[in-house]
Structures are given as C-alpha cells and as structure tokens.
Structure 1
Amino acid sequence: MVDDPFENMLAQMDRAEEYADVDHGVFERLKHPERTLKVTLPVELESGEVEVFEGYRCQFDSARGPFKGGVRFHPSVTQREVEALAGWMTWKTALVDLPYGGAKGGVICEPKDLTERDLERLTRRYTEGIRRMIGPEVDVPAPDMNTNPQTMAWMMDTYSMYEGYSVPQVVTGKPLEIGGTPGRVEATGRGVSLVTERLFEYLDRDLSDATVAVQGFGNVGSNAARLLDEAGANVVATSDVSGAAYDPDGLDVAALGAHVDAGGLIEEYVAGEIRGGASAADSRWDDPDAITNAELLTLDVDVLIPAAVEGVITADNVDDLRASAIVEAANGPTTVAADEVLTERDVQVVPDILANAGGVIVSYLEWVQNAQEFSWPLETVNAELERRIGTAFDETIEQYDAKGLPDLRTAAYTLALERTATAHEYRGLFP
C-alpha cells in the first residue's frame, strides 16, 4: 500500500506510462516539481501570543501555462502532500484542456482554534511569504480545504498592497463584489454531479432513485449531494468529522444542508438537534441512523463519492467496499493498491482529475473575466462548466474504449500526460 500521497501520484503515472505516447525522458521530467517554497509564518494572535506556523507553495509544471492551484489550511498539511496535490492539479488542468500548469499551497494549522482576526493575519502573512512566486501571469491561487472567498479576498488585498494597485486576477474564488464569478463556490460539487450523471448515461443506467453515499459534507460534498438529490438520485448517507448519517430511504439533503450552513455537525443532526431555523419535526424524512465514516465507505450503494481527504480507500478496506461505482470528489482518495482491486472487480472509478475539475474550470472562467474586466451571468458560467467537463469526460471514455485501457484513471492520465508532454516537446529545454 502506498501511504505517501506523492508516491501514490507517481504510481498512478507509472500505471499509465505504457499506454501514453510520451518519450521516456520527458516522462521522467514530469515526475518532478519545478520548485517548492517553505515559509515560516510568525503571527501575533488575538490572544496576544505569537505562534509560528509553517506553509508551503509548490509549483509543479508550467509547460502549458501559469501555475494554478488552491491553498488549504489544515493540521495534516505536509510538503509531500502539497507536492502531490500540485501534481494532480497539473494533470487535471491538462485533462480539461485549460492553459494552466499545476500548483498547490498549504499552511499547517487548525482553523477551528483560530479567530477570524487570527485567520486574516495568518493569510496575509502567508501571502507575503509566497508573493514573489505568485501573480496573474505566473501562479494563481484559489480556495481549497478550510479556505473560502474571504481568504481569497485577504490574499488579493495583500498582493495588491505591494503592487500599489488592485490586482483581482491574482487569485480566483473571490467574493463577487471584488471580481469573483457567480457559480464558483458550488463549481466543484456541480462538476461532481455532472460527471456522475454522465457516468450513468455511459453505463446505460438510470440515475433516478440510484443510491448515493457522500463521504464529507463540506463545500464539495454538500453541493454534489444537493445537485444529485435535485436530479432524482437518492442520497442515503453523508458524513463530517463528527460522524455519519445513514437512512436507506434517503436523507433530507436540504434540511441537512441548512443545519450545516448554520454551523451544525452531523452528529447533532442525527440526534435531532437541528440548527438553521428548522426542527426535527420539520424534516420530511425519518431520523437517520448514526454510523461511522468507515462504515459509510462500505455501504451497499450505487455510487460512493469520497469528498473529504486523500487516502481513504486503501488495501485495508477495499475488499469491504460494495459500491457499484466511485466518483472521486476529493483529491487522491484511492491508493494504487486499492485501484488495482477495484479494476479487477470491474468497479468504475471516475478519477479525481476529472470528477473534481469543476472548480478549476470556473476558476479559469473567473480569471479570464478579470483579465477582460468583464463578467458573465451564472447561466453562461454553468453552461461553459458543463460543456468543458462533459468534453473531458467524453474524451476520457473514448480513450478508455478505443485503447482498451484497464480503467478510467489510466485513460485520464494518458490524455493528461500526452498533452503536458507535447507542450514540453514543443518548448524544448532551456538553455
């Protein structure tokens, strides 16, 4: 089993090499990030104490264009994780054919232990630490785990203060009032929902009443669950750090979403302590059962959507998985060892670099609008998201079927590696 996320990404690349039309020398270049910066971030907290945080920014590959990738705040952030995520961003942007390379950033911290003022100071300090690396034509950060439009507003403002004028296109995922685009917040979840619908069409199955389990009810998981629920699917389970809720007859996704939006936890919802102006009696559904996150992964459902962190489907639990298909809303949720078992069992896995690409697609649209000093309505943004992620899905399926590849991940990597390698071959080596 590969526990290191970076080694897991390299192993995924290696599985695709024999099928990809890529020179081996170029392929070896693609395994190495261009640069990684580690920054030390002393921050005076609102309590008066000074705490020293550590952060990273990895720029993986720029052959196809400026670096692009989110920034996450989480206690588990490591340099290897950030480098793996930057690699996955490289393949993701290539697969959906955006003029970007891949990057990722992270700060080791526990956001729940910090005040709003602490988070602002930490964000500004981190932005100052990496500002020589970023820029609208160089590297464009975006939100990721535990960061949001407010975080991006602080990053944009900090960068702009050093430049001496407003530079909205230095980040994406901003509030609408300072250059954000409608549809960005829910874009990744919308992409997951669209890809799930396309998968069911490909498999000639009806999504209506299909059972879905969503591990992780954050921004991505909650929006994917809501949109799939609206499309007729039956979301029977979801989870957060406090635990998981399961109802074989289906969860009240709208009520659960309102509860979480009001700051509630799933364990409270299961116990009937519903926030957001609702009460247990308001729910159209029966009270769900409490299960663990581990149990959620093994439910007998039509679709499992891991939407939390990487490395949750492993050699240790893959034999217990009973889902008919898996759509990876999180980055790197499946290890290579587990992948091999799922392929042998003919379980279709839509890989992360395709399934969760909605966020970077709409980030690209925001970046383009900022550069043009122009904006599009939500309908245009959503239509372009659907077109681009649909095209990427169709191209992946065509590659999978035409070449008789072992799984959809290999098909997606083959396309992404070939596109990135071609850019390297055209550009050559400098000097």
Structure 2
Amino acid sequence: MITKDIQLPVKKTETGMVANVLEQFNKAAHHIQLNPNIQRILNVTNNEIIIHFPVKMDNGDVEIFTGYRVQHNNALGPYKGGLRYHETVDIDAAKALAMWMTWKTSLAGLPYGGAKGGIKINPKLYSQSELERITRRFTYALGDNIGPEHDIPAPDVNTNAQTMAWIADTYMSTKSPSERSTYQHVVTGKPVGSGGIEGRDRSTGYGVFLTIKLWADKRNISLKGQRFIVQGFGNVGYWASYFMDQEGAILVGVQDAFASIYQPNGIDVNQLQSYINHNEGSVNDFADSKTIKKEDFFALDCDIIIPAALGNQITEENASLIKAKLIAEGANGPTNVSGERILLANGIEIIPDILCNSGGVIGSYFEWLQNRNGELWHMDEVLLKLEKTLQDSFNKVYNFAIAEDIDMRTAAYCIAIQRIEKAYIQRGIFP
C-alpha cells in the first residue's frame, strides 16, 4: 500500500552542497507527494567509498592520496557520473554531486543512476607522468566498484579524455585477454581514437547553449546581441561561449580561479581560448579587457549568466547584485537555496543544472551505446540526437513549471523523481 506524508526535513548535521541538494529534493518530493518510503531511500546514498592509496612521485618519494566514489542510486540502471581532481573533493561534495547525477540521468530519460567521485588533489602541482600513475593507482584501488554495467565514470573538473583513457586501459588490464575488448565502455569521455565518440568534448557546453536558446525561443527573444558572462572557461564554459557567439550573443565577462575580466564591447571567444592555452590556463591580463574584483563579477551589466565552474557560487551574499534576467547553470549546484530564493523573488529565471548541463551525460550515453554495440557514430548524428533529447527534456520541464506554477528547478526535480518512483512502485522493495 502506498502512503503519503509530509516533507522530510534536511538533517541538521548536513552542511554545504549536501544540505542544498536535499532541500531541493525534499521540496519537489513534497510537491508531488512522493511515497515517503521511496523518499527515505532517495534521501541517502547506496554506497560511499573512500580509498587511501600510495603513489611514487618523480623524485622517488611516496605520497598518499585520498579518492572517493559515491554511488547514490541505481534504480534506473548503472551508476553514472564524473570524476574530478580538485582540492575541494571530499565525501560530502561527492554525495551531493552523486545525488544531482541521479536526478540528471532520470530527467534525461537515460537508463542510468547517479554517482560521483574523484581525488582530493591540485593537479597543477603534479607532472603528467605523476598524474598518470595517480590515476592508474586510483583505478586499480577502485577495482570492481566500477564497471561498464555497474558504475561508469566520466570526465569532470580537471579531468579529461586522457584521464579516461588511462582509467579504461588500467581497468581492462585487470581482465583476461579474451574479455578486455568488452570492457571498453567502463568509462565515457575517452579520446575518439580510444573508443570515444565525436562531439562528446562539446556536448555539455552545446547543451548549455541549447537550453538557453530554447528558453529564449519560449520568450520570443533573439540571442543576437544578448550580453552574457561566464564563470569558468574550461571545457563547458568555452563551448557554451562558442555556440552563444555563433548565435550572435556577446561575451562581455569571464571569471576563472585567478582573475575576472570585463569588456563591454565584447570578448572574442576564440582569441580568449587561444590566450588561455598559452597563459597557463588563465584569463589573467587578457588584452583589451579590464580586470575587476572577484566580488563584482556577478553584478556585471549583462542579460545571461553562465556559471560553469564549481558549486555554491551564487549565494545570499551576491544574488541581490545580479542584473541578468537568466542564470543558465553550466556547473553542478552553482546556486545555493538561499541565493535562489533571492533570484526568483527578483524575477530572474534559472535553467537548473540537472537540465542545463545534462548534455554531457547524454553524450556519454551515446558513447556507451557506441562501445557496447560496436557501432560508429559521427558528430552530426551525435549533436542531432543530443538536440532532440534536450528539447524533449526542456519542453517537459517548462510545461510542468507553467502547469504547476512552480520554478523550473522544482519542475525538473518533480519529473526526475516521478520516473524513479514509478520504477520502485512497479518493482517493489527487496525482500
């Protein structure tokens, strides 16, 4: 018998991003009157893995690293989610990001659950050969906690196609020679020559752009001449900016971990990317731009903000300064609950992360299928399928938000949660 009860509170002991994602989840769960038994299941993770492992450095010294993999839920299919290499990686961050992945894959209609993880490390402090050894040792330590039909990692902050190639090679090396080729899809986001798929590198940024364009179409707004700023000019920030620029929008501000720049007349996207590639990955001192204070960035005069860096960037401390009419969340969890309340009260719309940046995991799904089925997909086909999937997701969220008179984030959560609830109701709880 299915029963209903009131919204479950966020535990007082949970802080930061975990509290943020749980409050978002419980708000949506209350709105749809989610089965309380299923709500209890989804409020916690299935598995939380912490691994301490030694790696020999180039100078012969041994360092001990800490890696994490959190598997939130797999009711809809194998766990899926990225691995990040960053000093902020810890068990709470991994838990929050894993939960967001569960909602993201469900909303996109993919046969996946949610996971996330990484290593607490500043990769800039290590050589390429050290990073390879760290990655391979972490993969070996994870063992069968990952697998192509169990848990499928992908690139995230400070990891890339090369990282995924090392993981795939290490994982396959632990299998018998006759089986190795069947394990290629243990990760996605690989180089094209090593089982990757054309277009995966730009799929997240392209998805951010697509959701902005779909929003603009609903509002009868042309993106031509729209002024936008981007926080984080890595893979997601660059490709989102590239496609926005192609549509005629004007990039006027960029912020990274080192500097914040502003140019009201517009920043050339490709020139900036070239500059970053030759300037240790930073926008600092980019020609023909003004350097501004970090705290003034979100207050810049613009129409659209694309936060594409880390979580908890738009908060109660800066949300009231924002002049833009749209926040398109290229990052995971860039807006905390208190900041979102201020934005919504000020009439600023938000395309939520689980919709806005879902192009990455959708592209990963295509790569996984390509490997699994022994197929070869070309970029045009990938981007076309990505566009159709995102358009379907966007329309569902937009129409649900209008029909229920709620914000788009809550609408996205409601749709994602209902799909998981249906799976639990149909299959039951073992035993």
Alignment equivalent of 1:44, drawn from 38, 51, 56? 56
Structure 2: how far apart are the matches of 1:245 and 1:106?
30
Structure 1: how far apart are the matches of 2:330 and 2:295?
17
Alignment equivalent of 2:47, drawn from 2, 25, 35? 35
**Residue correspondence of structure 1 range 259-274 to structure 2 within 5 A:** 259-270=275-286, 272=287
Structure 2: how far apart are the matches of 1:263 and 1:82?
30
**Residue correspondence of structure 1 range 19-418 to structure 2 within 5 A:** 19-164=31-176, 165-166=180-181, 167-270=183-286, 272=287, 287-405=288-406, 407-418=407-418
Structure 1: how far apart are the matches of 2:325 and 2:308?
17
- Residue 266 of structure 1 and its aligned partner are, at CA, apart by 4.0
- Residue 263 of structure 1 and its aligned partner are, at CA, apart by 4.5
Q: Are the counterparts in 1 of residues 101 and 113 from structure 2 also a CA contact under 8 Å? A: yes
One-letter amino acid of the structure 1 residue matched with residue 296 of structure 2 = E
With over 3 angstroms needed to count, the CA separation of the structure-2 counterparts of 1:30 and 1:124, relative to structure 1, is same
Matching residue of 1:284 = none
Matched length:
415
Q: TM-score, normalized by length of structure 2?
A: 0.94
Q: Which has the higher contact order (CA 8 A, sep 6+)?
A: 1
Structure 2: how far apart are the matches of 1:267 and 1:222?
12
Structure 1: how far apart are the matches of 2:33 and 2:266?
45
Structure 2: how far apart are the matches of 1:77 and 1:41?
16
Structure 2: how far apart are the matches of 1:398 and 1:80?
33
Moved more, 419-428 or 328-337: 419-428
Structure 1: how far apart are the matches of 2:375 and 2:28?
40
Matching residue of 2:29 = 17
With over 3 angstroms needed to count, the CA separation of the structure-2 counterparts of 1:96 and 1:107, relative to structure 1, is same
One-letter amino acid of the structure 2 residue matched with residue 199 of structure 1 = W
Structure 1: how far apart are the matches of 2:285 and 2:387?
33
- Residue 391 of structure 1 and its aligned partner are, at CA, apart by 0.7
Structure 2: how far apart are the matches of 1:383 and 1:222?
20
Q: Are the counterparts in 1 of residues 75 and 423 from structure 2 also a CA contact under 8 Å? A: yes
SS of the residue corresponding to residue 309 of structure 1 reads coil
- Residue 321 of structure 1 and its aligned partner are, at CA, apart by 1.4
One-letter amino acid of the structure 2 residue matched with residue 330 of structure 1 = A
Q: Percent identity?
A: 40
Matching residue of 1:419 = 419
Structure 2: how far apart are the matches of 1:425 and 1:117?
49
Structure 2: how far apart are the matches of 1:305 and 1:268?
19
With over 3 angstroms needed to count, the CA separation of the structure-2 counterparts of 1:309 and 1:328, relative to structure 1, is same
- Residue 267 of structure 1 and its aligned partner are, at CA, apart by 4.6
Structure 1: how far apart are the matches of 2:36 and 2:186?
35
Runs (4 or more) in structure 1 with deviation over 3 Å come to 262-269
Structure 1: how far apart are the matches of 2:293 and 2:162?
32
Q: Are the counterparts in 2 of residues 256 and 269 from structure 1 also a CA contact under 8 Å? A: no
SS of the residue corresponding to residue 37 of structure 1 reads strand
With over 3 angstroms needed to count, the CA separation of the structure-2 counterparts of 1:22 and 1:309, relative to structure 1, is same
Structure 2: how far apart are the matches of 1:293 and 1:104?
29
- Residue 216 of structure 1 and its aligned partner are, at CA, apart by 0.7
Matching residue of 1:279 = none
One-letter amino acid of the structure 2 residue matched with residue 101 of structure 1 = G
For residues 69-111 of structure 1, give each alpha carbon's deviation from its aligned partner in whole angstroms, at most 9, with x where no partner exists.
0000001101000010000000000111101000001100110
Structure 1: how far apart are the matches of 2:395 and 2:41?
28
- Residue 145 of structure 1 and its aligned partner are, at CA, apart by 0.4
Q: TM-score, normalized by length of structure 1?
A: 0.94
Structure 1: how far apart are the matches of 2:335 and 2:240?
19
Q: Tell me the C-alpha RMSD between the 2 structures.
A: 1.3
- Residue 47 of structure 1 and its aligned partner are, at CA, apart by 1.6
